[in-house]
Amino acid sequence: MEYSKYHKTIVQSLLDGKFLLRNEPEFIELREKEEFYSEFFKASFDYELKVTTDYSYLISSETSEITSRDICIFFALICYELDRDGKNFIDELNYAEFEISQVENYFANSAYIDLIHSNKQLKDKDSRKNFINMLSRRSIIEKRSEEKFTFTPAYKVFIDFARDLARKRMEEQQPTA
């Protein structure tokens, strides 16, 4: 079998937790051969390949993935602080350019400062700088400069997860008739 010129990059990127975005040639190749790659990742690593119109990523059945948890906490805190700041957080995530200093200000003044300090990847400015760089390597954000970034459509994975989790908890709290 002959593999495409992007095969190694596709496999390595997805295994590294990177999202492939629709403007990348690797994403186009992946979409064209989605069935092959779905079978490949399932048979080789027992991972599920997800491909949307905007991005692709892998899902593991492993539920103790700390980085995914920390990314969810990061988004929860950002969304909470944007809302508290009177902004529509979905609009902001979709269209706004963020400054690192803005994020630092949100974290420094957050009502959830105890949660922030207890999280290894978010606890202080240096940790958050490394965390922001990790988000960039995974294509969850796109750095415009060392001080500015925008979110890529990959943020939707974490917002959708939080939405599903909230719905599930609300359903569990509903009294049964």
Query: Over the stretch 72-94, which tens digit does the pLDDT of each residue have?
Result: 999 999 999 999 999 999 999 99
pTM of the model as a whole: 0.88
SS3 assignment, position 159:
helix
DSSP of 1-68, one letter per residue? -PPPTTHHHHHHHHHTTPPEETTSHHHHHHHHTHHHHHHHHHHHH--EEEE-SSEEEEE-S-S--HHH
Residue 95 tokens read as: 């269209």
- What's the confidence (pLDDT) of residue 48? 96
What are the pLDDT digits (tens) for 128-141? 999 999 999 999 99
Residue 123 tokens read as: 């606890």
DSSP of 97-129, one letter per residue? PEEHHHHHHHHHT-TTHHHHHH-TTTSSHHHHH
